[in-house]
Amino acid sequence: MPRIPLSQTWTLLNIVIAIWVLFSLSQAEAAILRPSVSVAGEHITLGDLFDDAGAASSVIIAIAPPPGVPTAISVSRISQVARRNGIAWRNTQGLTRVVVTRSGILIGDELIEEALAASIAEQAPNMVTKGIIEIVLTSSIDHLMVSESTLPSMSVEHMNFDQRSGRFIAAVRVPANDNTAPLRRLTGRAYPALDIPVLTRRISPGDKIEEADINWLRLPATRISQNIIDNANDLIGFTPKRTLRPGEPLRGGDIEAPRLVEKGAIVSISYTLGRMNLSSRGRALEEGALGDTIKVLNERSHRTIEVKVTGMNEAIIEPSYPVSQAVSSAQATTAIN
């Protein structure tokens, strides 16, 4: 086998070195450092930081921050780790640091408010007797997150609550009771509130209020006077005395039982005692709602009698005091006839 001259050997070696240098430069040009990244796992890798880290993609450079808490890694540190792992990267972008955030699941408003209200209730139990503890946050909650593999939860580690002003400062931890998670500061105001029924549509006098017409409005307890209706059952089946607008608190004087008998209407009158049934008709001398006692003029006898309204233009005769069946029958017969 012929021997290769030494000069040719050096030439081949120089060609190999040149190819390796060109390949390294192409790798360096291909690897671009991102100025900001978001990671999902517990570690930050070179593959997270560079868009083409090649075989070094899985190399861990740092621990990922808690979800919602951004951190920064210096470019000098990134450069050292990158070069040690074969990424001949040059900082042509002039970066000094890379901001890293960790994706996660936001803690819901309802969960946050429930945890804060429960903590305040422990310090001020008298607020619970006045109604629901309403929470108004004055600090951002966008940073309250847990990792994508963790169930959302929050614990209140410290609560500073001023009962006079209603203001509070809370130190919370997410997820709940995780001692490795940093404490987060929340500020806001708390006050007792009540849910009151309001109408969903405009209702005029004579219209009957149905269950479907009712929605709920939460107001501070201090704004709710004693005559404000706070029970839906006190609205259903009633009719307005004036036109009522949707969403406004209602007072007892705004509604009335629907009139089933109008003044001057012909009323069917009945009386039942045992097996005896008597009936007649009369003209109403006054209007009346369900259960009202009104005066009616008997059409036959032209006597004025008192009857109890039971339905639309319907009424019954009721004895005003306990009497024997014979006497009661005689009274009713006289009144009916």
The tens digit of pLDDT for each residue in 111-162 reads 999 999 999 999 999 888 888 999 999 999 988 999 888 899 999 999 999 9
What would the mean pLDDT of 205-220 be, rounded to a whole number? Answer: 92
Asked whether residue 25 is domain-assigned, the answer is no
Contacts 24+ apart (CB under 8 A), 55-58: 55/86, 56/82, 56/85, 56/86, 56/87
Asked whether residue 8 is domain-assigned, the answer is no
Tens digits of per-residue pLDDT, 249-263?
999 899 988 888 889
Asked whether residue 209 is domain-assigned, the answer is yes
pLDDT band at 13 (very low <50, low <70, confident <90, very high): low
Contacts 24+ apart (CB under 8 A), 44-51: 44/73, 44/100, 46/81, 46/82, 46/85, 46/87, 48/100, 49/73, 49/78, 49/98, 50/82, 50/87, 50/89
Number of structural domains, the chain? Answer: 4
133 CB-contact burial (10 Å; exposed 0-12 / middle 13-18 / buried 19+): buried
Asked whether residue 310 is domain-assigned, the answer is yes
pLDDT band at 21 (very low <50, low <70, confident <90, very high): very low
pLDDT at 7 over 70: no
Q: Considering only residues 112 and 277, tell me which one the structure prediction assigns the higher pLDDT.
A: 112
The verdict on 95 and 80 lying in the same domain is yes
Q: Which of 103, 135, 150 is the last residue of a domain?
A: 103
Least confident interval from 234-238, 264-268, 271-275: 271-275
- HSE-up (13 A, CA, CB side) for residue 227: 5
pLDDT of residue 28: 41
Instruction: Read off the CATH number of the domain in which 80 is found.
Output: 2.60.480
pLDDT of residue 31: 80
Name the DSSP letter for residue 150: S
Domain encompassing residue 138:
109-191
pLDDT at 323 over 50: no
Asked whether residue 307 is domain-assigned, the answer is yes
Asked whether residue 19 is domain-assigned, the answer is no
Rounded to whole angstroms, the Cα distance separating 295 from 284 reads 6
pLDDT band at 329 (very low <50, low <70, confident <90, very high): low
What would the mean pLDDT of 229-238 be, rounded to a whole number? Answer: 92
Asked whether residue 90 is domain-assigned, the answer is yes
The verdict on 224 and 289 lying in the same domain is no
Q: Which of 69, 103, 137 is the last residue of a domain?
A: 103
